């Protein structure tokens, strides 16, 4: 759900970890950078130049699109944006970037760039232009979408808005589809009236933006709700921790019993899908997260282990014990939340509609290998991991778990 520049918190208090209500869970997870969908990561600077950790065009021999499109990217230089732009260019489309020119301005030097600021309503650079499609990855605030939709409704073919599974109100029901309940306009107006922090306001803003897109563009409108987006260049480290930690070797603390469900999507697969949707003139709303078949936490960690040569062992520590040790879900234990009635469906969304529309998933091994390689290539001055257990805390909890007979 992250897309607006909130500091990730390394841990959670026991009270927060209990997640007593759906609202508390959504707000706390968003504030910690949960943000299932990362559409709009405009607040970070990443090494996002096309590289061997990108869409590996040479290896895939990307065929040209049947029809070259003129695509406007609102954003395009954060995390998801470059994956979309790179694939669109490989397909032979003409891309125009519209953003503030502050995040990774060195990217795509041969691509047209328009400067403006959605936060201040400065959309003047878009006037008098036409495009076949718009890919909006940078909006976390509904008014940004309202303004851009109004400015572009008569000058674009299709408008694709990257929303988030966080627009949904129910994380407790497994297997929900696109028609599951989302935050209402009343919910949105409430967070606006209270000037609620983005952690709480994120979901209502995304849901309201979805309604704006559909109301403005009708069958020309597209909404995609990603889950947790992962892969090279993700500076949130919400998946990166696991390849890095497993590659370090030794005894690794793993959360729960290994059976908890996991859903992720590689940023490059999502970027391709978004371009594919506008190429095929699709309409409607799509949940977009993978993999194709159900995956457990144990399967994910052992899959990551397969791409390293390190001597590794996993010690699975019960959720109740982790809660006693003040271990924060999601940020200290990435890609995992405490199991309970309010979280049963948190990583169990039905994405069959997107799969039928062309969403494909690369092997987990490819995502893990490329993420680890990107991490190691960043250089000695790169920041430390933002997520995961600190080594000393991990060792202390493992020792306490064994002392209890775990």
String of DSSP letters for 245-291: HHHH-EEEEEETTS-SEEEEEEHHHHHHHHHHHHHTT--EEEEE-EE
In a domain, 211, yes or no: yes
| Burial of 136 (C-beta count, 10 Å sphere; 0-12/13-18/19+) | buried
| Burial of 219 (C-beta count, 10 Å sphere; 0-12/13-18/19+) | exposed
CA distance linking residue 375 with residue 377, whole number of Å: 5
Angle of helix 198-217 relative to helix 22-31, nearest 10 degrees, comes to 90
Say which residues have a Cβ less than 8 Å from residue 171's Cβ, sequence separation at least 6: 22, 25, 26, 342, 343, 344, 345, 346
Which residue, 112, 123, 183, is CA-closest to 149? 123
CA distance linking residue 272 with residue 147, whole number of Å: 26
Domain range for 384 = 14-403
Half-sphere exposure of 175 (CA within 13 A, CB side): 1
pLDDT at position 61, please?
A: 82
Query: How many domains does the chain fold into?
Result: 1
CA dist 232 → 53, 140, 291, 380 (Å): 6, 22, 17, 17
In a domain, 1, yes or no: no
The whole model's pTM is what? 0.89
The neighbouring-strand residues paired with 226 are 288
Helix, strand, coil shares, percent, the chain, to 5: 35, 20, 45
341 φψ region: left (φ > 0), alpha (ψ -120 to 50), beta (else) = alpha
The neighbouring-strand residues paired with 112 are 96
Positive or negative CA dihedral for 260, 226, 36, 252? positive
Q: What is the DSSP string of 156-175?
A: EEEEEEE--GGGBS-SSSTT
In a domain, 5, yes or no: no
Which residue, 17, 4, 11, 2, is CA-closest to 343? 17
pLDDT at position 21, please?
A: 47
Say which residues have a Cβ less than 8 Å from residue 181's Cβ, sequence separation at least 6: 168, 169, 170
Residue 188's domain is classified under what CATH number? 3.40.50.720
Could you list the mean pLDDT of each consecutive 10-residue stretch along the chain, which spans 406 residues?
33 41 51 46 40 47 95 97 98 98 96 97 97 97 98 98 98 98 98 97 98 98 98 96 98 98 98 98 98 97 97 98 97 97 97 98 98 94 94 98 94
CA distance linking residue 124 with residue 128, whole number of Å: 9
DSSP annotation of 240 reads: T
In a domain, 6, yes or no: no
Place of tokens 């008014």: 143
pLDDT at position 380, please?
A: 86
Q: How many CB atoms lie within 10 A of CB 15?
A: 10
In a domain, 209, yes or no: yes
């Amino acid at each position: 759900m992250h897309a607006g520049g909130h500091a990730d918190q390394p841990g959670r208090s026991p009270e927060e970890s209990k997640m007593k209500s759906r609202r508390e869970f959504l707000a706390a997870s968003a504030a910690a950078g949960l943000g299932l969908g990362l559409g709009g990561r405009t607040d970070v600077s990443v090494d996002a130049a096309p590289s061997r950790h990108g869409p590996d065009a040479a290896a895939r021999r990307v065929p040209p699109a049947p029809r070259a499109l003129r695509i406007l990217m609102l954003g395009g230089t954060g995390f998801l944006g470059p994956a979309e732009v790179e694939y669109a260019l490989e397909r032979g489309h003409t891309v125009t970037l519209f953003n503030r020119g502050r995040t990774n301005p060195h990217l795509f030097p041969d691509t047209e760039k328009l400067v403006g600021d959605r936060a201040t309503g400065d959309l003047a650079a878009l006037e008098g232009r036409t495009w076949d499609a718009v890919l909006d990855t940078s909006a976390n605030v509904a008014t940004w979408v309202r303004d851009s939709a109004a400015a572009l409704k008569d000058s674009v073919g299709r408008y694709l808005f990257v929303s988030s599974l966080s627009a949904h109100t129910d994380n407790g029901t497994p297997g929900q589809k696109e028609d599951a309940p989302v935050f209402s306009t009343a919910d949105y107006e409430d967070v606006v009236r209270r000037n609620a922090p983005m952690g709480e306001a994120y979901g209502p803003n995304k849901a309201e933006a979805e309604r704006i897109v559909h109301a403005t563009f009708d069958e020309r409108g597209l909404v995609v709700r990603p889950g947790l987006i992962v892969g090279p260049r993700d500076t949130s480290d919400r998946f990166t921790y696991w390849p890095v930690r497993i590659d370090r070797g030794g005894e690794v603390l793993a959360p729960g019993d290994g059976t908890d469900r996991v859903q992720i999507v590689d940023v490059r697969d999502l970027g391709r899908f978004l371009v594919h949707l506008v190429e095929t003139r699709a309409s409607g709303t799509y949940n977009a997260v993978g993999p194709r078949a159900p995956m457990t936490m144990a399967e994910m960690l052992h899959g990551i282990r397969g791409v390293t040569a390190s001597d590794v062992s996993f010690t699975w520590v019960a959720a109740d014990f982790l809660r006693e040790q003040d271990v924060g879900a999601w940020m200290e234990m990435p890609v995992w939340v405490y199991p309970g009635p309010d979280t049963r469906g948190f990583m169990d969304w039905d994405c069959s509609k997107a799969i039928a529309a062309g969403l494909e998933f690369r092997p987990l091994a490819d995502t893990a290998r490329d993420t680890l390689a990107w991490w190691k290539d960043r250089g000695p001055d790169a920041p430390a991991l933002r997520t995961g257990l600190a080594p000393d805390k991990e060792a202390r909890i493992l020792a306490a778990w064994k002392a209890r007979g775990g």
